[in-house]
Amino acid sequence: MAQVQDIEIRDSAGRVAKAVDDLPDIQGDRMVLNMGPSHPATHGVLRIVLELDGETITKADPDVGYLHRGDEKIAENMTYTQFIPYTDRLDYLSPLANNVAYALAVEKALGIHDKLPPRCQYIRVMCCELARISSHLLGLGAFAMDVGAVTVFLLVFTEREKIYNLAEAASGARLTTTYTRIGGLMRDIPPTWCDQVRQFIKEFTVALAEVEVLLTRNRIWVDRLRDLGHISKEMAIDYALSGPNLRGSGIEWDLRKKQPYLCYKDLEFDIPVGSVGDCYDRYLVRMEEMRQSMRILEQCVNKIPGGAANEIKEPVNIADGKVTLPSKEKVLSSMEELIHQFMIVTEGVNVPPGEVYFGHENPKGELGFYINSQGGGVPYRLKIRAPSFVNLSILGELMPGAMISDVPVILGSLDFVMGESDR
């Protein structure tokens, strides 16, 4: 039998000190993890290059561009009206609002943005607020499902279907509406549309309260969101954030109030703001924004010029034959009107030389269109300020220090759509 020898460990204190000094090497190198571009939590084709120290994120680099379609270049090769369907496909959760934003930019270039008929303005505002509710609902539903609240996802989708029914009644399409036109609208709303909006407000008020019962005081939901993804006021301004992500940090900035357009100056509504700037604040801001949108909708259906059925025939397009198409009756009975329609359709509206920028308060933030015109019916240059693209730039600041399981929560609280980010 072999004799067991005693092993003497000398200078044990020195060995322990050396082990502490070499601890980073013992743990090994930090791991780089590719999250996306095909991942359910990224809500689209977003790739995030994560550098991890165990479960803790030390660095995050958002990599966008996988969905790029060249919308801005396409705009340089078609008339202003022909580009409207492409705006549907920016933030495809709020096409009605995208249409209005683009039309207002072109109308500003034409100098007719302050000549829109009052009925047209009210209908456009209702479209924008319905789009805001629809966008927030899907963002909230996907956000909640990422955290584990599947019931909320089912509830909000039921309400979104009602908004799609309203969009279909007004435009004939549910998703890609293309309802707005330069100088007005595709057509007037149906006589019963305002009553349908009233019914939606009544039902949605109950559904929103039910969602709040499920989430707002839910201990799991609060623990997952609170004190995570904190954005200070200074950071929000430095990264040019807009929309609920900016207001969640306590900055009261809303283009509908600060730079009013359409009939927003005649409507009463509040701007909800957060106090901390974490994920939970951004959730609360969007919940309150939906209530304010319902408040705006209720005022619009009660005050719309001409009434719901428009029996006095209030116009929804400006009375400018160089911008809007003539009526079918005139086209079919007058050669001059037929030629006029042909010129507008083939050559587009004649935008004078110059450059304009218009910012619109979209559900995701400020959707801006910069138009550089050298005259004629086609823009020389069109640049889109996509709020999702700008808001994603702050990921590198928010992610470090969080855990891998926190990534879906931070992404969901920012509420972005890659369709407009990769425009």
Mean pLDDT, range 244-250, rounded to an integer: 95
Smallest Cα–Cα separation from 109: which of 403, 358, 359?
Answer: 358
What local confidence, expressed as pLDDT, does residue 168 receive? Answer: 95
In the three-class reduction of DSSP (H, G, I as helix; E, B as strand; rest coil), residue 37 is classed as coil
Note the pTM of the prediction, 2 decimals: 0.89
Domain hosting residue 152, numbered range: 71-422
The answer on pLDDT for 201 being more than 70 is yes
What local confidence, expressed as pLDDT, does residue 16 receive? Answer: 43
Indicate left, alpha or beta for 365 from its phi (over 0: left) and psi (-120 to 50: alpha): left
In a domain, 39, yes or no: no
In a domain, 217, yes or no: yes
What local confidence, expressed as pLDDT, does residue 390 receive? Answer: 94
User: Residue 236 is inside which H or E element, if any?
Assistant: helix 233-238
How far apart CA 357 and CA 370 sit, in angstroms, is 4
DSSP code, position 190:
P
In a domain, 44, yes or no: no
What local confidence, expressed as pLDDT, does residue 157 receive? Answer: 92
At 37, is the pLDDT very low, low, confident or very high (cuts 50, 70, 90)? confident
What local confidence, expressed as pLDDT, does residue 13 receive? Answer: 44
What local confidence, expressed as pLDDT, does residue 9 receive? Answer: 42
In a domain, 174, yes or no: yes
In a domain, 301, yes or no: yes
Total Cβ atoms within 10 A of residue 305: 17
In the three-class reduction of DSSP (H, G, I as helix; E, B as strand; rest coil), residue 256 is classed as helix
What local confidence, expressed as pLDDT, does residue 341 receive? Answer: 87
What local confidence, expressed as pLDDT, does residue 28 receive? Answer: 57
**b/e 368-398 (16+ beta carbons within 10 angstroms → b):** bbbbbbeebbbbeebbbbbbbbbbbebbeeb
The answer on pLDDT for 15 being more than 70 is no
Task: Tell me the percentage of the chain whose pLDDT exceeds 70.
Answer: 93
What local confidence, expressed as pLDDT, does residue 27 receive? Answer: 54
Phi, psi dihedrals of residue 173, rounded to the nearest 5°: -130, 155
What local confidence, expressed as pLDDT, does residue 19 receive? Answer: 45
Supply the DSSP string of 280-326, one letter for each residue.
HHHHHHHHHHHHHHHHHHHHHHHH-TTTTTTTT---SS-S-TTTSPP
| Domain total in the chain | 1
DSSP code, position 76:
T
The answer on pLDDT for 218 being more than 50 is yes
In terms of DSSP H, where are the helices of 37-190?
71-75, 84-88, 95-110, 118-147, 150-171
What local confidence, expressed as pLDDT, does residue 23 receive? Answer: 47
In a domain, 219, yes or no: yes
The answer on pLDDT for 36 being more than 80 is no
The per-type count for the chain, helices as H runs and strands as E runs, is: 19, 8
Phi, psi dihedrals of residue 64, rounded to the nearest 5°: -105, 175
Tokens linked to 26: 């013992």
How far apart CA 213 and CA 325 sit, in angstroms, is 50
Q: What is the mean pLDDT of the chain?
A: 89
Q: Give the bridge partners for 61, in sequence order.
A: 49
Instruction: Let me know: does 350 contact 375? Beta carbons within 8 Å.
Output: yes
At 268, is the pLDDT very low, low, confident or very high (cuts 50, 70, 90)? very high
How far apart CA 333 and CA 346 sit, in angstroms, is 20
In a domain, 168, yes or no: yes
DSSP code, position 61:
E
At which residue do the structure tokens 């909640």 appear?
144
365: domain CATH number is 1.10.645.10
At 310, is the pLDDT very low, low, confident or very high (cuts 50, 70, 90)? confident
Task: Report pLDDT digits (tens) over 122-155.
Answer: 999 999 999 999 999 999 999 999 998 899 999 9
Task: Report pLDDT digits (tens) over 54-70.
Answer: 889 999 999 998 888 88
In a domain, 41, yes or no: no
